[in-house]
A and B are shown apart, each in its own frame.
Chain A
Amino acid sequence: MIKKKIAIVGAFAVGKTSLVQRYVRSIFSEKYQTTIGVKIDQKEVQLGGKTINLLIWDIHGEDDFMKLKPTYLIGSSGYFLVADSTRSETLQAAVDLHDMTMAITKNAPFILLINKCDLAEENELSKDDLNDLREKGWKIIYTSAKDGTGVEDAFLELSKLMIAESN
C-alpha cells in the first residue's frame, strides 16, 4: 500500500474542514466550527490498480491571530490551496500561502480549490485573476462541500499528480 500525506491550507472559514468531511464521510454541516491546530482524516483511493491511503491534514485556517505552522506541512506529498468564491481576499491568502507551502513541501503538486461554488450569485473572484494563475500552471477546480461538486475529482486529481511525481 502507498501512503501519502496531503495538506489542506487556506484562509479561515473557506470550507477546508467541510471539504474533508464531504470527501471522507459524505456529510456537510452548515454549522461552522473553527479548526484549532490540525485535524487529520484518512481515505483510501484506488488509482491504476493501486490503493493509496491518503492522510489528510486539515490545517487550521490562517488569520491575523493564528498563523500557519510550517511544521504541519513538512512531509506532505501534495496539498490543496482553498479559497472561498464569495470572499475575494481568500484567493490572495491562498496565493500567499502557496509560496511558503511550496518551499516546505519541495515543490509538491497542488491544486487550488475554489470552494462554495454553489453560491454562484455571490461569487467575488475575478476570472482574470484565476486565468493569471492558470497561466502560471496552477490547476484550479471549483468545488462545493455543500453539494459535493468537484470534491471527489479534486482528491482524485491530486492523487494522480502525487503518484506521477513520485514516479
Chain B
Amino acid sequence: MTEQKAKAIDDFLEKGQLNELREIITGLDHSSLDRLQKLMKDPHEFALEISDLLPFSIRKLIEKGSINIADLLPFFEEIIQESIQRNPQRLANLLFPIMGPAIRKAVSEDLRKMIESLNKGLESGISPRHLKWRIQALFSQKSYAEIMLSKAYVYHVKHIFLIHKETGLLLHQVRAPKTRPIEADMVASMLSAISDFAKDSFDGPKGENVETIRIGDTNLWIEEGPYAVIAAVVEGNPPPGLRLVMQEAIEAVHYNHRADLENFGGETAIFEHIEKFLKSCLQSEKITKKSKPPYFALLLLFIVLTVAGYYLVKHFQYKNKHEALIEAFQNEPGYLISRSRVHDKLFILQGLRDELSRQPQVVASDLDVDPEDVKFKFQHFISTDSTFVIKRAIETLKPPATVVFSFQSGILTISGKADESWASQAKNDYIKVWGVKELRWELIGKNEPKRDLSWIVNDIESYSFIFDFNDIEMNEEQQLKFEKLKSTARLLDEFNHLQNQSHLVQIESFTSKASNAAANTKVALTRAESFMALLNKAGVPAELMKTAVQYNEDIEKPMPVRTVKFKVVKK
C-alpha cells in the first residue's frame, strides 16, 4: 500500500501536477514563492524589502493617530545619545553639511538684528526725542544707553494672526485684552497680497520674505513656516526677542498640524486649539512709569525752608545781639539790669543806672547796636563801684593835688601829703560820701588828726521807727532810714575810742500796759531784738548794744506805742 502511494506521488511530480496544485492553493507562481522563500531565509534581503515600506507605514500610523511623534521621541533621543557616546565624530560628520548653513544663518540673523538695532539708534540719534533722552541722561545720572533702551523696549502686541501661506486665509487669531477687533480675514489676505506683491516686484533672493511692515507706530512682524505664517500687529518698539517667540510658535504650529496645513481645504475649526501657541506671542512691556520727583513740593519746601532759615538766622542774630547787649550792660560799671524784653520790635532794657556811668546809648554803640532799636528804662541808683566812690569822694572832699584816693571793701584810703585843716575837714566829711564806711590815712610826715564824733550821739538818738499793730517788720521807707542808722552806729566803737569812754546804744521799744501787757511786752521786745540783730549784722558789736522795753505808763514823756527809738548811754 505504501509503495503504491509513493509511486503515485512520483507520477504526480513528474507530470508537474503538484506545482499546479500549489499555484491554485496559494495564488502564487513558482518564482514568487521562490522569492518569498529567499526573503525568509535571507535577513539582508528581507530588510531591504521592508526598508521602502517602513517610513511610509510610520507616516500612515502617525496620520491615523495610532502613534504620535511624542511617543517616538524618546527612542530617537536615546539612539542619538547612544551614538554620541560611542562615537561623537560620526554624528559630527553626519551633521557637518547642515551645521555650516545653520550657523551661517544664525550668525547672519543676529548680525541683521544688531545692524537693524544700530541703525535704529543712529537714525534717531539726533532727533528731538533723542536729544530729550540725552538731556534726561545728563540730569538723571543714567547713561544715554540706559535711557534709550528704556524707551525702545516699550511695546504691545495687539493681534496675532496665523495665516495659511498658500491661500492667505486666516486660520486663527488672538488679540490682546481690551484691543479693538479688526477684520482679521481681510487683513490676513491683504497681508498675503502685500507679501506676494513684494516678492513679485522686487526679485529678492528665493526664500526671502517680507518680515516687517511699519505703519507709523504700528509694526507688522511676520514669521514664516513652510505652510503658514504668524503675523503680529505690534504697537511701539518690540524687542528682537519677540521674533524668537514667534519662531517658536510657528514651529509648534507646524509640529502639531503639518498635515492639516499641507492639505488645508478651508476648514479652520481644527486650528482652534493652537490658540495657546499664538497667545504666547501676545507680549507687552509697559513703561514702568517712574514716579517723578515732586518738583513742585520740593520747590515749595525749599522756599519754606529758605524763608524759615532766614528768619531763624535773623532771630538768632537778634537774640545774640540782645544777649550781648545785656552782657555788656552787666559788665558796665554803674549799671544793674533787672529785666529785658521785646515789645513791638523794640528791645527794652530795664534796670538801675548810676548817673556817673557812661550814657546807655554810648554802651550800645560799642556793639554796633542801633540805639533806635533799643529803649532804655533805667532808674537812678548810687553805685558802690570803686570808680564812682572815688569820683564822689573827690567831689565831696576836694583833696589837694598831693593826695590820692583808693577804695576797697567800703574803706577809702587817703595817701599822700595834705595839711591838717583839710585832713580834719575830710575826717568829718567822708561820711557824706556814699559807700565809704571807713577812712584810712596813709599820710606821709603827719600825725593822724583827732576825729570829732560827738555828732553821732545826736544822730543815733534822732532815729525812731513806728510800727503797725502787731507788726515787727520794717517797711521800705524804714529800711532806707535804717541804712543811714547803720552807718552812724558803726562809728560808735571809734567814738568810744576817741572819747576814751564806754558808750552803748540802748534800743528802746515803747509799748503800754493796757489790755494784754505781757503780749505787748513780748512784741516790743521782739522789735528791739530785731533791730539789735540787724545792727550787729551791719557791723555794730553786740556788746555795744542793749534792749529795753519802755511802758508809757512809767515815763514822763510818753511816746507813741509800737515805737522803737535809740539812746546812747554810758555802760
Contacts and interface: CB of A to CB of B under 8 A. Distances in A.
Interface stretch (B189-197, B361-369, B410-418): B189-197
Interface in A34-80: 37-38, 40-42, 52-53, 55, 57, 69, 71-72, 74-77
B266 interface: yes
A116 interface: no
Contact of B193 (A1, A4, A40, A52): A40
Contacts of B199: 71
A55 B186 contact: yes
Nearest to A38: B193
Given A3-B268, A42-B183, A57-B189, A37 B197 contact: yes
Interface string A90-104: 000000000000000
A57 B166 CA distance: 14
B48 to A, nearest CB: 36
Interface in B162-178: 164, 166-170
A42 B193 CA distance: 14
B183 A71 contact: no
A42 B266 contact: no
A55 B189 contact: yes
A69 B200 contact: yes
A166 interface: yes
B216 interface: no
Nearest to A5: B167
Contacts of A1: 267-269
B167 A75 contact: yes
A3 B170 contact: yes
B529 interface: no
A1 B169 CA distance: 12
Interface string B258-282: 0000000111110000000000000
Interface string B195-207: 0110110000000
Contact of B266 (A4, A69, A72): A4
A37 B166 contact: no
Given A1-B269, A42-B186, A53-B185, A76 B197 contact: no
Interface centre among B169, B186, B197, B199 (most CB of A within 10 A): B169
B1 to A, nearest CB: 69
A57 B189 CA distance: 8
Contacts, number: 65
Contacts of B164: 75
B185 A3 contact: yes
Nearest to A77: B266
**Interface size bucket, A side?**
20 to 34
**Interface size bucket, B side?**
20 to 34
B266 A166 contact: yes
A2 B190 CA distance: 19
A7 B8 CA distance: 79
Contacts of B189: 5, 40, 42, 55, 57
A3 B169 contact: yes
Contacts of A57: 189, 193
Interface centre among A53, A69, A74, A75 (most CB of B within 10 A): A75
B200 A71 contact: yes
B167 A2 contact: no
B266 A3 contact: yes
A71 B189 CA distance: 13
B266 A40 contact: no
A57 B185 CA distance: 12
Contacts of B167: 3, 5, 74-77
B297 to A, nearest CB: 56
B166 A75 contact: yes
Contact of A55 (B169, B196, B197, B269): B169
Nearest to B269: A1
B328 to A, nearest CB: 101
Contacts of A37: 193, 197
Nearest to B183: A42
A72 B189 CA distance: 10
Interface in A1-51: 1-5, 37-38, 40-42
A53 B199 CA distance: 27
Interface string B276-316: 00000000000000000000000000000000000000000
Nearest to B171: A3
Contacts of A38: 193, 197
A57 B190 CA distance: 9
Nearest to B201: A69
Given A5-B169, A53-B185, A71 B268 contact: no
Contacts of A5: 167-169, 189
B268 A74 contact: no
B185 A55 contact: yes
A164 to B, nearest CB: 12
Nearest to A4: B266
A150 to B, nearest CB: 24
B109 to A, nearest CB: 25
Interface in B371-403: none
A72 B167 CA distance: 9
A1 B170 CA distance: 11
A36 to B, nearest CB: 10
Interface centre among B167, B199, B266, B267 (most CB of A within 10 A): B266
Contacts of B190: 40
Given A37-B193, A40-B193, 19 more contacts: A1-B269, A2-B266, A2-B267, A3-B185, A3-B268, A4-B169, A4-B266, A5-B168, A5-B169, A5-B189, A40-B190, A42-B189, A52-B266, A71-B199, A74-B167, A75-B167, A75-B168, A76-B167, A77-B266
16 contacts: A3-B167, A3-B170, A3-B185, A3-B266, A4-B169, A40-B186, A41-B186, A42-B183, A55-B169, A55-B189, A71-B197, A74-B196, A75-B164, A75-B168, A77-B266, A166-B266
Kindly list the 10 A-B residue pairs having the minimum CB-CB distance in the complex, ordered from nearest: A75-B167, A71-B196, A75-B166, A2-B266, A3-B169, A40-B189, A166-B265, A5-B167, A38-B193, A55-B189
Interface of B: 164, 166-170, 183, 185-186, 189-190, 193, 196-197, 199-200, 265-269
